[in-house]
Amino acid sequence: MNKHFDVVIVGAGAAGLMCAMEAGRRSRRVLVLEKADRAGRKIRISGGGKSNFTNLYVSADNYLSHNPHFCKSALARYTPWDFMGLMSRHGLTWEEREHGQLFCEQGATAIVDMLLQECTQAGVELSYDSEISYLKKQEYFELQTMQGAYTCASLVVATGGPSIPRMGSTDFGVQVAKQFGLKSIPFKPALVPFTFPSGFLKDLAGISLEAEVSCNGTAFREQLLITHRGLSGPVILQISSYWNKGDAIVIDLLPGMDAADWLKAEQGARPSVLLKTVLAEKLPRRLAQALCERLFTDQPLQQFQQKKLDEIGATLNGWRLFPAGTEGMRTAEVATGGVDTNELSSRTLEAKKQPGLYFIGETVDVTGQLGGYNFQWAWASGWCAGQFV
Ligand SMILES: Cc1cc2nc3c(=O)[nH]c(=O)nc-3n(C[C@H](O)[C@H](O)[C@H](O)COP(=O)(O)OP(=O)(O)OC[C@H]3O[C@@H](n4cnc5c(N)ncnc54)[C@H](O)[C@@H]3O)c2cc1C
């Protein structure tokens, strides 16, 4: 015998829980089906355990999507202040870090507990270890899991993206979209470190510096970290979302200054000083030395012609590198791509061609930059769908 619900939500992550509590508050009979044995696994590990749950400066410019306007409606209707209000009502507090990033002072698990408490108060039922083995639409949506068989009028797909597969992440969302004839954009790892041919940067692992990195017309200025596999750090994670295989990235190792002008001034002031000594005053010493050995010549500044200093300066302000690839879904924080936004209403998140079917959160082709934007999209899209299911 099928159990009937007004709303079944697949996925008890950030978007699914938000949608569930909102729908439950509207007195809808709601069931959440979660494949894992507990809710909100990605929330629990986010932000180093403190969850960067939103950002004070959220705007559509912080998101990648084939339709950059799609996210505007949801982001305008459920703002970071709405989520902060919810947290305040639960006695949760936050700490603001650079670039408007907010972290939960009570820890990431406190956010999951808050969402689960809201769901309980709203009468939402949750079923864990519930993977869907059968899905069909007749008069209602019909679903089967190991735990039971269900029918519902509204089906919400909130299964996130495929990054970090060891956490049970799946591409279930795009599979459901395909089943109902909706288009998707292929998922691609994002917010992910770059890999380089073995040995290229290996002995420089551990070096960290502030740099500006650009690719395909987008640039970020934050910390860069050289790892034993390649490049990482916030600036690299950010730019990785804009990178495609074969693209170069351009690294400004001395952002905010004209390196050639600086070197020429130093040549006039200290002609007998070695290039590596001068570079080590602005860059980590090991990096300065490696650049002199691998890209430049290490000699006293007076021995460089002006043209050569122009070339060295151009490299320091625009070092072009071709990553071999990324670390892939294994370590990617999110994935770009997902259900094509053209298939969905930006107000309700409902599929235009399939009434009653909704897609929210990372399953949709809306991907945030690093800094709390992904959770804000999950809260906002979940909240919006929760008003209509
Ligand atoms: C290590 C890490 C750190 C992060 N830190 C931050 C951060 O600090 N700030 C930020 O904004 N973003 C962060 N993110 C990104 C953020 O976690 C995601 O963008 C966000 O969780 C997406 O929410 P969602 O509800 O769409 O998906 P998820 O939160 O991933 O939830 C999807 C749920 O669906 C379940 N599921 C999957 N397939 C099925 C299925 N077939 N049947 C039933 N259930 C299924 C999953 O188990 C999961 O519980 C981080 C991601 C990672 C991996």
**Residue 317, token pair as written in the block:** 């302000």
Instruction: Annotate 26-39 with b (16+ C-beta within 10 A) or e (fewer).
Output: eebbbbbbbbbeeb
Instruction: Annotate 323-351 with b (16+ C-beta within 10 A) or e (fewer).
Output: beebbebebbbbbbbbbbbebbbbebbbb
Burial of 162 (0-12, 13-18, 19+ CB in 10 A): buried
The CA distances from residue 354 to 345, 364, 378, in Å, are 11, 16, 22
Which of ligand 1's atoms lies nearest the C-alpha of 376? 11
- How far is Cα 362 from Cα 189, in angstroms, rounded to an integer? 12
Note the pLDDT tens digit of each residue in 323-335.
999 999 999 999 9
Residues of the chain with pLDDT under 50: none
Domains of the chain: 3-190+334-386 (3.50.50.60), 193-326 (2.40.30.10)
Q: To test ligand 1's pocket by mutation, which of 97, 374, 377, 384 has the most ligand atoms within 8 angstroms of CB?
A: 374
- How far is Cα 335 from Cα 17, in angstroms, rounded to an integer? 20
Supply angle C-alpha 332, 334, 337, rounded to 5.
120
Which of ligand 1's atoms lies nearest the C-alpha of 108? 8
Nearest alpha-carbon partner for 291 in 229, 203, 198, 368: 203
The predicted pLDDT at position 1 comes to 75
Note the pLDDT tens digit of each residue in 285-325.
999 999 999 899 999 999 999 999 999 999 999 999 999 99
**Residue 41, token pair as written in the block:** 């696994």
Measured from the CB, is residue 131 less than 6 Å from ligand 1?
A: yes
Say what the pTM is. Answer: 0.96
Strands 218-226 and 230-232: antiparallel
The predicted pLDDT at position 226 comes to 96
The predicted pLDDT at position 199 comes to 67
Which of ligand 1's atoms lies nearest the C-alpha of 164? 53
Q: How far is the CA of 164 from the centre of ligand 1 (A)?
A: 9
- How far is Cα 157 from Cα 163, in angstroms, rounded to an integer? 17
Supply angle C-alpha 27, 32, 36, rounded to 5.
160
Burial of 11 (0-12, 13-18, 19+ CB in 10 A): buried
Nearest alpha-carbon partner for 20 in 130, 158, 169: 158
Q: How far is the CA of 49 from the centre of ligand 1 (A)?
A: 14
The predicted pLDDT at position 197 comes to 86
Q: How far is the CA of 44 from the centre of ligand 1 (A)?
A: 10
Instruction: Annotate 86-97 with b (16+ C-beta within 10 A) or e (fewer).
Output: bbeeeebebeee
